[in-house]
Amino acid sequence: MSASVKVHGMDGQMVQPDWPSLTHDELRILLARFPALAEPLKIVTVSPRPLSAAGVVSTRAGKVFVKRHHRTVRDREGLLEEHAFVEHLLGEGASVPRVIRSASGETAIEIGEWTYEVHEIPKGIDLYDDAISWTPFRTAAHAWSAGRELARLHQAAEQFNAPRRKPQPLVASFTIFAEQDARAALERYLAARPVLAGSNAVRQSCERALQLLEPFHAQLRPLLPALGSLWTHNDLHCSNLLWSDAGDGASATAIFDFGLADRTNAVHDIANAIERNIVGWLQLVADPAHPDDVPVHLDHLGALLTGYDSVRALSNEEAAALSAMTALCHAEFALSEAEYFLGILHSEEKAPMAYDGWLVGHAQWFYSAAGIKLLDAIQRWAASRIVHAKKAGAE
């Protein structure tokens, strides 16, 4: 592994990766299973994402995107869950990357301790290729287009009937606060993940998070029956989109990276998009004593929601649920990252950032002036839509 290869760290700095970079020799072995691609010529780019090894690879048949997972993170079965969703979306006309099949028809290739996938590269430019999650859009126009593209994806996902994914690390599920009894649901979540259930530190953080998030869950509970079950992306950050050009008014042309996808609901997915793009969480990592200094990009929030609503108008109940969901949506992914750090990397050093910093710290932030400002803005947006709908109905 080259010492020059760095990936995004938890605090926004570039750090040494957890996994070795792709090599030309392993790509030759992998792509031998894809005769139509011939052989790798060059590793064009190396992805800075920290949870796997990936990059754009040129072949004699053109460029492809290759991603390699450790089998403890994604085995063949786990990866095929994602691929089935992507294939459905493609069949419904969504703009997502096609997963390339090997000569034997496989899309998830296990070689030794690794699981590989190979994707076509959709039309568009990777405008945010170096952007870290929790950093904002460049313009409100980009936010509007991202919201519109997410709505189109939700429309394409409506008839995908696969069940919820099996328990595995690094999935942004929604099960704990999807139930009326969050405490009982949390116990079931932990029981399915022994590395979390056996950690006293994780359990203490879970108890603190439950206390902090209970008021938001109380707001959400009456609205849960109105949130239709849907397979969702769960990681719509600007860096997981391709774009028409590099201009301030560029349009999103494709959504990629479905690693966090699962059966949740549309409001959960929109809340994740808000959480990923609108709140500057890295400032909280750098200076946790001053939560009010965390940037909140309300102009981008309004654009994102308006763009979404222009394609798939939220019901009144969905709109009313969005504020509370925004405070709740990150909880399970924080626990899933804790499972990754403790169970896969065996890193007692990194894990507290997930179960204390992201699970508890984010929950606490929603009680700060900046957090209240965000939730109030979402509530005002939801209320304005209801008033507008009533006026339109009276005319």
Secondary structure of the chain as H, E, C letters: CCCCCCEECCCCCEECCCCCCCCHHHHHHHHCCCHHHCCEEEEEEECCCCCCEEEEEEECCEEEEEEEEECCCCCHHHHHHHHHHHHHHHHCCCCCCCECCCCCCCCCEEECCEEEEEECCCCCECCCCCCCCCCCCCCHHHHHHHHHHHHHHHHHHCCCCCCCCCCCCCCCCCCCCCCCCHHHHHHHHHHCCHHHHCCHHHHHHHHHHHHHHHHHHHHHHHHHHHCCEEEECCCCCHHHEEECCCCCCCCEEEECCCCCCEEEEHHHHHHHHHHHHCECHHHHHHCCCCHHHCCECHHHHHHHHHHHHCCCCCCHHHHHHHHHHHHHCCHHHHHHHHHHHHHHCCCCCCHHHHHHHHHHHHHHHCCCHHHHHHHHHHHHHHHHHHHHHHHHHHC
Q: Can you give the pLDDT at residue 3? A: 43
Q: For the chain, what are the domain ranges?
A: 7-119, 140-394
* Per-residue pLDDT tens over the stretch 274-314: 999 999 999 999 999 999 999 999 999 999 999 999 999 99
Q: Can you give the pLDDT at residue 131? A: 87
CA distance 207 to 154: 33
Question: Quick one: how far is CA 338 from the chain centroid?
Answer: 16
For the domain bounded by 7-119, which CATH number is listed? 3.30.200.20
Q: Which two tokens stand for residue 330?
A: 């990150």
Q: Can you give the pLDDT at residue 306? A: 97
- β-strand 241-243 against 14-15: which pairing, if any? unpaired
* Per-residue pLDDT tens over the stretch 118-161: 999 999 999 998 888 889 999 999 999 999 999 999 999 999 99
Q: Is the predicted pLDDT of residue 28 greater than 70, yes or no?
A: yes
Q: Which residue has the higher pLDDT, 26 or 10?
A: 26
Question: Which of 3.30.110.30, 3.40.47.10, 2.40.30.10, 3.90.1200.10 would CATH assign to domain 140-394?
Answer: 3.90.1200.10
Q: Is the predicted pLDDT of residue 391 greater than 80, yes or no?
A: no
CA distance 6 to 21: 10
Residue 56 dihedral angles phi and psi, to the nearest 5°: -85, 130
Q: Can you give the pLDDT at residue 11? A: 59
Q: Is the predicted pLDDT of residue 96 greater than 90, yes or no?
A: yes
Question: Quick one: how far is CA 104 from the chain centroid?
Answer: 31
Q: Can you give the pLDDT at residue 49? A: 82
* Per-residue pLDDT tens over the stretch 199-237: 999 999 999 999 999 999 999 999 999 999 999 999 999
CA distance 219 to 222: 7
Q: What is the CA radius of gyration of the chain?
A: 21
**Contact by Cβ (8 Å): 29, 109:** no
Q: Is the predicted pLDDT of residue 246 greater than 90, yes or no?
A: yes
Q: Can you give the pLDDT at residue 251? A: 98
For helices 298-309 and 369-394, angle between their N-to-C axes, nearest 10 degrees: 30
On the CB side of 251, CA atoms within 13 Å amount to 6
Q: Is the predicted pLDDT of residue 318 greater than 70, yes or no?
A: yes
Q: Which two tokens stand for residue 356?
A: 């204390």
User: How confident is residue 47, by pLDDT bands cut at 50, 70 and 90?
Assistant: confident
Q: Can you give the pLDDT at residue 4? A: 55
**Contact by Cβ (8 Å): 43, 57:** yes
**Contact by Cβ (8 Å): 61, 125:** no
Q: Which two tokens stand for residue 116?
A: 């590989």
User: How confident is residue 194, by pLDDT bands cut at 50, 70 and 90?
Assistant: very high
Please give the mean pLDDT across all residues of the chain: 94
Among 28-37, 48-57, 171-180, the range scoring the smallest mean pLDDT is 48-57
Q: Which two tokens stand for residue 107?
A: 């899309």
CA distance 382 to 250: 27
Q: Is the predicted pLDDT of residue 1 greater than 60, yes or no?
A: no
**Contact by Cβ (8 Å): 272, 352:** no
Place of tokens 């089998």: 71
Among 14-28, 157-171, 357-371, the range scoring the smallest mean pLDDT is 14-28
**Contact by Cβ (8 Å): 202, 187:** no
Cα separation values, 177 from 137, 219, 341, 360, Å: 29, 11, 23, 15
Which residues are paired to 122 by β-bridges?
none
- pTM equals 0.94
Query: Which long-range contacts does 138-142 make (Cβ < 8 Å, 24+ apart)?
Result: 138/238, 138/248, 139/248, 139/249, 140/299, 140/300, 140/302, 140/303, 141/248, 141/249, 141/250, 141/303, 142/238, 142/243, 142/248, 142/250, 142/252
Q: Is the predicted pLDDT of residue 389 greater than 60, yes or no?
A: no
